[in-house]
Amino acid sequence: MKLSKAELSDFLNEKVELYNNPNFIESDPISIPHSFSNKEDIEIAGLLSATIAWGQRKTIINNSFKMMEMMDNSPYEFILNHEQSDLQKLESFKHRTFNSLDLSFFVTRLKDIYKVHGGLEKAFSDGIKKESVDCSDAIENFRNLFFHEVGEENLRTKKHVSSPYKGSAAKRLIMYLRWMVREDNCGVDFGIWKSISPSLLSCPLDVHSGNVARKLGLIQRSQNDWKAVKEMDETLRILDANDPAKYDFALFGLGVFEKF
């Protein structure tokens, strides 16, 4: 599909308007953080839901709500005040290769993130440098804090927190950052993190969005990796330098709902 820049902009903006809509929240993992009103509950529920966001969407949503129930539907309070014995509540959890050991590790490390490092927003935003052109530095800063002094028994959890520095497209963390950072009047993204500029956001890249992006000429690269994310960034930042991640709604909607 060969479109001029103006045609591409019009086409994508039309799809953003269609899919950046609260009607789609219920069928999306973003519905889990939308069930909370407290900032810390929203960002914790968002991180955990985004972390297991692969596979069937219905299963992702069901298992995300199960995690919240296991934490008494008060994830921030549970994480902040839990003791070792409380982790037994999580022992039955499993979503594909993410199991109770991974969830317990997340709960333990998030307690440290909040008590020692100033919370999730700070853990990401402290990585942003003057020369940062995207959120890769923010993700790496969070990742370094999260896996600080990790024991051998927890090394398996590293595969669930991707690294752009190691070439990963980091789809789930990129999606999570969109949820937390983007702000508009449409009611889907939260915009509760003010210390990261939406201009640094990228679009999550997976099989669906990657296929759409290639058909639209946004990507030439065949792999869905960080180099492909950067390639897609170049065009999307030309179309909207201040809010490039809004095009995630268009790419996702075209791939999942329209089978483009």
Average pLDDT, the chain: 95
**Long-range pairs for 95-98: beta carbons < 8 A, 24 or more residues apart:** 95/52, 95/55, 95/59, 95/60, 95/63, 96/52, 96/54, 96/55, 97/159, 97/160, 98/51, 98/52, 98/160
pTM: 0.96
| Vertex 186: Cα angle to 183 and 192 (nearest 5) | 30
* pLDDT tens string 13-57: 999 999 999 999 999 999 999 999 999 999 999 999 999 999 999
Residue 160 phi, psi (nearest 5): -95, 0
* pLDDT tens string 164-202: 999 999 999 999 999 999 999 999 999 999 999 999 999
Q: Give CA separation, 222 vs 2, 214, 253, in Å.
A: 18, 8, 21
> Which run of H or of E encompasses 99?
strand 98-99
